[in-house]
Structure 1
Amino acid sequence: MKPVIGVMPLFDEEKDSIWMVPGYMEGIRRAGGIPLIIPLRCEGEDLGQLNDICAGYLFTGGHDVDPHLYGEEPDELCGRINNARDELEKRVFDMAWEMDKAVFGICRGLQIMNVFLGGTLYQDLPTQYVCARAGNAGMVDHHMCAPYDRACHQVDILPDTPLRRVLGRTEMGVNSYHHQGIKALAPGLRAMAAAEDGLVEGVYAPDKRFIQAVQWHPEFMGAGDADAAKIFEGFIKGCS
């Protein structure tokens, strides 16, 4: 049987509606899973019943993470937050962590997983992130313009990590559409990819069966992109 993957919902405040980027669903489907969008408001027995049929979870992109979750007041450049989504994802992540179920995060998914495990974020990279290298050397554009199915900067894939094993390469070009990022890496996570400016762009939990996340967007890369396909396939394999 194909594994059912619970997908964290996106939310549109203007339309007061849940929506979804097709690439998330197609990435799961092409990799051999069955995507299922989790309701924004779901808890208790309802969430437990859904968890019984979900082999893993995809934490999608979207809203900024509420800075209060990592002990900060929102900066004026922090974007729109959605407390209902933060709360849903906390319940799902805690449940998956406790039961050792597979979780894969993309963009916001990486950021909120880091926060849930005790890490912090830069609320706005352009104004808060200082490159570890001298001057502006190595700084990259983390917020590209459309189209998004192309690489805009490189990441180094760190040795002896799940991503290195899945892709079999030391670096790759990635798309990038985010203004927040990991500041302090959570104690339970390890880096598995980093941008040219030193920003952590891929993480995993070494003590869990499959807890991984990337900062870029494989869901936008399309069916013909081999690296994106391998990333989704690795996730689905991790659900078994």
Structure 2
Amino acid sequence: MRKPRIGITPLWDEEKKSIWMLPGYMDSIREAGGIPLILPLHMTEEEFVEVRDDFDGFLFTGGQDISPALYGEKKKACCGPVCEAKDTLETMIFSYCWSHDVPALGICRGLELMNALLGGTLYQDIDEERPFLHAPEHTMSFAYDWTAHFNHILEGTPLYARLGVPMLGVNSLHHQAVKKLSDSLVPMAMSEDGLVEAAYAPEKRFIWAVQWHPEYSYVYDGLDMAIFEYFTEAAADRVDAPVSPSLPPDYTFGSKKLG
């Protein structure tokens, strides 16, 4: 049996006008038994249709803020830079994952993207829109190899079943967060100040997303590595499965939500 192939959405450096990638995204998938492959930032729908069946799962990386247009709001001054090309690419890929039940793992921005596309909303800036006395650290400084705060892992969720712990210390590097969680998602972890830090789609094979950055911490935390292993296992289940029939596009960027 061949190893599962995981498509990874690229990071974008606005200053250098260049895509790039953190080694942790690649190495975690490789160590979990998969083959990581970086996707191009600019890809037409026709090009994606030609290659999408070569992949068994997709990893949605961190990066710029989600465009508020994806969840029906205007961009406020507190919102950071957005990358329209990344929004467009990831909308197309996630639509495919959702309609064809393809395993997907979202990290940080990936959680925010999935929530927005499925009809949820976001805080454009946590401090500005949700001031909280004694809030935990959500935007830590490099290196991201220490615990910024603790998350409550919710019993009865697949994350709890996989990790087997009620609390998890995590790193944190985000100023946006889930405001209203999509009705298509169920929370799996909550921060000390009540923010959704992990969610999944119960009706799908494997659509998970976490707010923290396990691509940094998996090297010293076996619990975070377990997330990549579970994702890769779900992708491996598709390796010898029959290819789903092609479906027509079921999204319009910026105007229609999935779910």
Q: TM-score range by the shorter chain?
A: over 0.9
* Aligned positions of 1:45-60 closer than 5 A: 45-60=46-61
Residue 224 of structure 1: CA displacement? Answer: 2.9
Match of 2:226 in 1: 230
Measure the CA separation in 2 of the matches of 1:196 and 1:222: 22
* Aligned positions of 1:1-240 closer than 5 A: 1-131=2-132, 136-137=133-134, 139-239=135-235, 240=237
| 3-state secondary structure, aligned to 1:209 | coil
AA aligned to 2:72 is G
| TM-score, structure 1 normalization | 0.96
AA aligned to 2:142 is A
Residue 130 of structure 1: CA displacement? Answer: 4.4
1:149·1:222 contact (CA, 8 Å) conserved in 2?
no
AA aligned to 2:140 is M
AA aligned to 1:175 is N
1:8·1:38 contact (CA, 8 Å) conserved in 2?
yes
| TM-score, structure 2 normalization | 0.89
Residue 28 of structure 1: CA displacement? Answer: 0.5
Residue 145 of structure 1: CA displacement? Answer: 1.1
Residue 48 of structure 1: CA displacement? Answer: 1.4
Measure the CA separation in 2 of the matches of 1:130 and 1:179: 12
Structure 1 gap segments, 5+ residues each: none
AA aligned to 2:176 is Q
Structure 2 gap segments, 5+ residues each: 238-259
Residue 50 of structure 1: CA displacement? Answer: 2.0
| 3-state secondary structure, aligned to 1:11 | strand
The percentage of aligned residue pairs carrying the same residue is 50
Measure the CA separation in 2 of the matches of 1:36 and 1:97: 20
Measure the CA separation in 2 of the matches of 1:216 and 1:129: 19
Residue 43 of structure 1: CA displacement? Answer: 2.2
How many equivalent pairs are there? 235
Measure the CA separation in 2 of the matches of 1:187 and 1:38: 29
Consecutive aligned runs of 4 or more in structure 1 exceeding 4 Å deviation: none
Residue 221 of structure 1: CA displacement? Answer: 1.1
AA aligned to 1:161 is T
Measure the CA separation in 2 of the matches of 1:97 and 1:57: 11
| 3-state secondary structure, aligned to 1:105 | strand
Match of 2:240 in 1: none
2:45·2:92 contact (CA, 8 Å) conserved in 1?
no
Residue 162 of structure 1: CA displacement? Answer: 1.1
AA aligned to 1:152 is A
AA aligned to 2:130 is Y
Measure the CA separation in 1 of the matches of 2:29 and 2:44: 24
Measure the CA separation in 2 of the matches of 1:118 and 1:124: 19
| 3-state secondary structure, aligned to 2:204 | coil
